[in-house]
Structure 1
Amino acid sequence: MSYTSQYTPETLSREELNQSAGPMVIEFGTNWCGICRGAQAAIKTAMDNHPDIPHVKVEDGKGRRLGRTFGVKNWPSLIFLKNGEEMARVVRPETSRDIDAALQKIR
């Protein structure tokens, strides 16, 4: 599993994420967000270089609690987890290099 193209409603709880094993990227945003759509080329490039790292896109917004537990304020926000612990965060990435640097922290 690598790049995921669509944001989906919350399917994982914070407790499940805290107990996850290995590396994982959680991306918060929405399918209608222009900034989120504009960042997808950079996100896809970076994630395609790391096909072994799960990429989960979570639809965020009013009434969505998971993003609040991570303190998400701007979209897209990528949270880089290793064994359930946040190791890095990239908000509104402009290049795949920003994402690659964070991915190296969860290897």
Structure 2
Amino acid sequence: MPIVHIKVSNFEGEVLQSQKPVVVDFFADWCGPCKAFAPILEEFSEEEKGVKVCKLNVDKAQDIAARYKIESIPTIVFFRNGEEIDRFTGLKSKEALKEMVKKEE
């Protein structure tokens, strides 16, 4: 499933109202670790068909970043049924991402 680039206008529909579990990567274009994490997230999105993967640029959606208390990037937040289930901050492996999703099933 391709990565969905979300913004303020479609955050609610794509994330909070999604029928599928959602992983959101809060990132910024200038962030080195965010760029390093991008191929990991891409691989994850191709392998995990039951999970929607989204990216949200915090510089373009500061109110959403503030609502979810995003203080460092990259921060990955896992949502199910519109609720935050888990999160991690920093560069992690694809396996860590899979583990986060699997443990919450």
Regarding TM over 0.5, the answer is yes
User: Aligned residue for 2:23?
Assistant: 25
- CA, structure 1 residues 52+74, in 2 after alignment: closer, same or farther (shift >3 Å)? same
Aligned counterparts of 2:28 and 2:41: Cα–Cα separation in 1: 14
Aligned counterparts of 2:81 and 2:52: Cα–Cα separation in 1: 12
Deviation at 1:33, TM superposition (A): 1.6
Deviations 1:60-86 (A, max 9, x none): 037710011111011111110010111
Q: Which moved more, 1:84-93 or 1:43-52?
A: 43-52
User: Aligned residue for 1:103?
Assistant: 101
Given that 1:42 and 1:95 are in contact with CA atoms closer than 8 Å, whether structure 2 keeps it comes out as yes
Given that 2:33 and 2:74 are in contact with CA atoms closer than 8 Å, whether structure 1 keeps it comes out as yes
1:1-107 alignment runs, 5 A limit: 1-4=1-4, 9-13=7-11, 17-61=15-59, 64-107=62-105
Q: Which moved more, 1:69-78 or 1:90-99?
A: 90-99
Given that 1:2 and 1:51 are in contact with CA atoms closer than 8 Å, whether structure 2 keeps it comes out as no
Given that 1:90 and 1:98 are in contact with CA atoms closer than 8 Å, whether structure 2 keeps it comes out as no
Given that 1:28 and 1:59 are in contact with CA atoms closer than 8 Å, whether structure 2 keeps it comes out as yes
- CA, structure 1 residues 25+11, in 2 after alignment: closer, same or farther (shift >3 Å)? farther
Q: Alignment length, in residue pairs?
A: 105
Q: Is the partner of 2:70 in helix, strand or coil?
A: coil
Q: Which moved more, 1:84-93 or 1:13-22?
A: 13-22
CA RMSD in angstroms, aligned pairs only: 2.5
Aligned counterparts of 2:65 and 2:43: Cα–Cα separation in 1: 24
User: TM-score when scaled to structure 1?
Assistant: 0.77
